[in-house]
Amino acid sequence: MATSSPTRDVYAPPPPGSQRKPADTRRQTWRSRLWRFDDKASPYAYIAPFFLVFGAFGLYPLIYTGWIALHRVEMTGLDRMEWVGWENFDKILHDSEFWTAVTNTFLIGVMSTVPQLLVALGLAHLLNYKLRASTFWRTIILTPYATSVASAALVFALVFRADGGLLNWVLEFVGLGDTNWANGHWTSKIAISVIVIWRWTGYNTLIYLAAMQAVPSDLYEAASLDGASRWQQFLKVTIPSLRPTILFTIVISTIGSMQLFGEPLLLEGGKLGAIGGNENQYETLSIYLFNYGWNLGHLGPAAAVAWAMLALLLLIAAVNWLIGRFVRKSAV
Amino acid sequence: MTITSPTKVPGSVRPVRTAHRAQKRPSRFKPGAGQQLKGGPFAYIALAVVGIGSLLPLYWTLVAASHTQDEVLATTPPFLPGGRLFHNLEAAWEQANLGKAIVNSFIVSGCITVATLFFCTLAGYAFAKMRFRGRGALMTAVIATLTIPPQLSVVPLFMMMADLGWGGSLESVIFPTLVSAFGVFFMRQYLIEALPYELIEAAKIDGANNFRIVLSVVLPVARPAMMVLGMLTFVQAWNDFFWPYLALNQQNPTLQVALGQLKASYTPDESIVMAGALISTLPLLVVFVIFGKQIVGGIMSGAVKG
């Protein structure tokens, strides 16, 4: 970069206590050293805030969680930590409720991610046509993304209510109007998945649409010259071009579904929300952690749950990576 | 978008590949890109169905918030907004501490947005246009942090905040989210194309030091992207639920926390809950109606390249 002495010294700060004398060689070298230091240190200074904040409020707590998991800490006395070794892990791993939460998280994750991404693909394909008022459609589809988890969960809780819910009123016409959505093992998971799908489909649609618009149009021209139908073009041109994007959305949605908290908490609310239903039928890992730490006040086991979640995430990442490798290999 | 390490800048000071693309606006797509077919009636019907599905819950929020609970849960529900909206809003205001919650939500989202914009633009500029040792690895580290759910660190975070004397105060919600990895990545993607090296060089020759360049060259160029990032950050901060719900209490809540506690503490009146939901959603809907186009463009441009 430019380390030569600048021709005009408008912005260079004069060294303290020195008179401004032109052609002062010692001042020149001092200033060029300052320039070089500025060039070397500036980028680190600019990225420092991110790493400082992440280090203090992300990485350090993440590691410290593992330490807390080996202690007894109560909400009533946060400064008293008592060493208990593996007891907390032992406790949660032998708790059937924990495994229920793992299963629920996984099931709701699959039930919300798969339909969501499939619908998003189809929608993106529609929006990729030349349409009137295309921006209007895109904005409408993204509106749920601007709705908070809390608001969305609350309005859907009202829709899925057993007595007087909007959905049961509609189902009345086909004779299914007495479904107790929150009580059933599958129906409660469907209800929560619907909230997730409603909020995130539009967002994923726009991500797919952007990727579709980046596909070179001569690929489609070549395909149609070869006699490919629209459907074949979608399968043979669009989908392969979108593979990295699809993988990305799968990763993001997976991480998102690991975090499900507001939806199950507020589906029924009250005491039931904190334990994920009367039979824990829609209890997710985040609810389980919250219940241990904030409802019962035992932070040790809550920290152990956090590390169990980390282990699960790493497992999912490994599986994802293997699948990705397999897909890449089979594509060649 | 694929998660890759940033492209290596060739040895020359001024890579040619950015020079001719300097004029490109990221939120615009090249005409002729993708498959350009005309949409038939089926496309419009399908989009209309999805559009109605997207808006119906919001409409139902308004309807439920403007009736009594008995009317909402009656055998035949109401389909048009009623006249009890202000009564319900008043009740929600008293029961859930909404007045304080609204002020708090604005403080939290405002602080987070301003800080995120400033720090992410700085970091994005460094990653986009400056050469320094470890740049690729550090950028990868930034992106990797996106994959860590907040659940993993809430327990010690809660204890730390109590230690710092921020237990239950807004600082405990603001500080952990001052800079976002997404923001750094977003600004970097934008500045790689929007900021030509010539401008930086010219400023250097004029004797500007690095920070001066940021103030008088980078910030003006980055303004459109900062607008979009600002809106996205605000929406996210406004809607954040998990950590605020654990960190704050009923005496000092954000809107979302107040809403959650309205439903979680006892069996509430549904129409009053809906009135609260309406209040928490309205400000963002207004932003959305005005800036929907830019937000859509921002999500689309932030997602693809990489």
Question: For residue B35, what are the CA distances in angstroms to A98, A124, A219, A285, B233?
Answer: 48, 12, 9, 42, 32
Average pLDDT, chain B: 83
**Alpha-carbon torsion angle B136, B140, B142, B144, nearest 10:** -170
The answer as to whether B111 is a domain residue is yes
Which of A120-124, B24-28, B61-65, B142-146 has the weakest average pLDDT? B24-28
Three-state SS across chain A?
Answer: CCCCCCCCCCCCCCCCCCCCCCCCHHHHHHHHHHHHHHHHHHHHHHHHHHHHHHHHHHHHHHHHHHHHCCEEEECCEEEEEEECCCHHHHHHHCCHHHHHHHHHHHHHHHHHHHHHHHHHHHHHHHHCCECCCHHHHHHHHHHHHHCCHHHHHHHHHHHCCCCCCHHHHHHHHHCCCCCCCCCCHHHHHHHHHHHHHHHHHHHHHHHHHHHHHCCCHHHHHHHHHCCCCHHHHHHHHHHHHHHHHHHHHHHHHHHHHHCCCHHHHHHHCHHHHHHCCCCCCCCCHHHHHHHHHHHCCEHHHHHHHHHHHHHHHHHHHHHHHHHHHHHHHHHC
Structural domain boundaries enclosing B145: 46-303
Per-residue pLDDT tens for A43-91? 999 999 999 999 999 999 999 999 999 999 998 888 888 899 899 999 9
Residue B5, sorted as left (phi over 0), alpha (psi -120 to 50) or beta, turns out to be beta
Q: Do B277 and A139 touch (CB under 8 A)?
A: no
- % pLDDT > 90, chain A: 45
Q: Which of A141-150, A176-185, B170-179 has the lowest mean pLDDT?
A: A176-185
HSE toward the beta carbon, residue B283, CA cutoff 13 A: 18
**Residue B215 included in any domain:** yes
Closest chain B residue to A309, measured at CA? B152
Q: What does the mean pLDDT of chain A come to?
A: 86
CATH number of the domain within which B183 lies: 1.10.3720.10
Residue A97, amino acid = E
> CB of B57 within 8 Å of any CB in chain A?
yes
Q: Is the pLDDT of residue B5 over 80?
A: no
CA distance B22 to B195: 6
Is residue B38 classed as helix, strand or coil in its secondary structure?
Answer: strand
pLDDT at A172 over 60: yes
Closest CA–CA distance from residue A106 to any residue of chain B (Å): 16
Asked if residue A116 lies in contact with residue B226, where contact means CB atoms within 8 angstroms, the answer is no
Span B129-141, mean pLDDT? Answer: 91
For residue B137 the two structure tokens come to: 């690895």
Nearest neighbour of A155 by CB, restricted to B123, B175, B277? B277
Residue B80 maps to a domain: yes
Which pLDDT band, with edges at 50, 70 and 90, does B183 fall under? very high
Start-to-end Cα distance in chain A: 43
Please give the Cα distance from B56 to B54 (Å, whole number). Answer: 6
pTM flag (> 0.75):
yes
pLDDT at B164 exceeding the cut of 80:
yes
User: Is A142–B301 a contact, with Cβ atoms under 8 angstroms apart?
Assistant: no
Q: Which of B228, B237, B225 is nearest to B291 (CA)?
A: B228
Find, in chain A, the residue whose alpha carbon is nearest to that of B141: A51
The DSSP letter of residue B83 is: S
Question: 């969501």: which residue's tokens?
Answer: A116
Q: Which of A199, A193, A208, A202 is nearest to A121 (CA)?
A: A208
The pLDDT score that the predictor gives to residue A27 is: 62
Residues of A in contact with B105 (CB under 8 A): none
CA B35 to CA A179: how far, in whole Å? 44
Query: Given CB atoms, is A314 within the 8 Å cutoff of chain B?
Result: no
Residue recorded with tokens 């019907």 = B45
Question: What pLDDT band is residue B140 in, cutting at 50, 70 and 90?
Answer: very high
Q: B264–A266: do the CB atoms touch at under 8 Å?
A: yes
Instruction: Look at residue B37 and tell me if it is in a domain.
Output: no
The shortest C-alpha distance from B302 to chain A (Å) reads 9
**Neighboring chain A residues of B138 at a CB cutoff of 8 Å:** 47, 51
CB contact under 8 A, A1 and B13: yes
From B1, B37, B43, select the one nearest A220 (Cα to Cα). B37
Mutate to test the interface with A, among B35, B58, B157, B178 (most CBs of A within 10 A): B35
- Contact B147/A159, CB-based, under 8 Å? no
Which residue do the tokens 């589809």 mark? A141
Q: Under an 8 A CB cutoff, do A142 and B292 touch?
A: yes
Q: What is the pLDDT of residues A10-53, one digit of tens each?
A: 555 555 555 555 555 566 687 788 877 887 888 999 999 999 99
Q: Is the pLDDT of residue A234 over 90?
A: no
Tell whether A265 lies on the interface with B, counting CB pairs under 8 A: yes
Average pLDDT for B271-282: 90
Rg (CA), chain B: 23
Domain count, chain B: 1
Range among A77-81, A176-180, B7-11 with highest mean pLDDT value: A77-81
Q: Is residue B41 part of a domain?
A: no
Question: Is the pLDDT confidence value at B84 over 90?
Answer: no
Two tokens, residue A12: 């260079």
The answer to whether residue B290 is domain-embedded is: yes
Residue B7 has pLDDT above 50, yes or no: no
- Give pLDDT tens digits for A242-290: 988 898 898 888 888 889 999 999 998 888 888 888 889 999 999 999 9
Distances (CA, A) of B261 to A71, A299, B100, B181, B245: 30, 21, 14, 30, 9
Exposure on the CB side of residue A100, measured as CA atoms within 13 A: 17
Measured distance CA(A304)–CA(A89) in Å, rounded: 6
Residue B14 in any domain: the answer is no
Res. A2 pLDDT band, cuts 50 70 90: very low
Per-residue pLDDT at A237 exceeds 70: yes
Test A299 with B270 for CB contact under 8 angstroms.
no
Q: A299-331 vs A96-127: helix axis angle to the nearest 10?
A: 40
Q: Which residues of A touch B264 (CB under 8 A)?
A: 265-266, 269-270, 273-274
Closest-CA residue of A relative to B161 is: A57
Q: What is the pLDDT of residue B302?
A: 65
**Quick check: is B10 in a domain?**
no
Residue A116 has pLDDT above 90, yes or no: yes
B248 CB near a chain A CB, below 8 Å? Answer: no
Residue A13: C-alpha distances to residues A20, A240, B287 (Å): 10, 56, 44
Provide the residue type at B244 as one letter: P
Residues of chain A contacting residue B145, judged by C-beta atoms under 8 Å apart: 54, 58
Cβ-contact A257, A109 below 8 angstroms? yes
- B38 to chain A: which residues are within 8 Å by CB? 129-130
Question: Which pLDDT score is estimated for A20?
Answer: 52
CB A303 within 8 A of CB A68: yes
Which B residues 155-214 touch A at CB under 8 Å?
155-160, 162-163, 175-176, 178-179, 181, 184, 201, 204-212, 214
CA atoms within 13 A on the CB side of A60: 13
pLDDT of residue B10: 42
Task: Give Rg (Cα) of chain A.
Answer: 28
Question: pLDDT of B231-261, one tens digit each?
Answer: 989 999 999 999 999 999 888 999 999 998 8
Residue in the structure block whose two tokens are 């994007």: A245
pLDDT tens column, A188-199 = 999 999 999 999
Angle subtended at Cα A105 by Cα B237 and Cα B232, rounded to the nearest 5 degrees: 20
Cα dihedral: B108, B110, B111, B113 (round 10): 110
What's the pLDDT at B8? 43
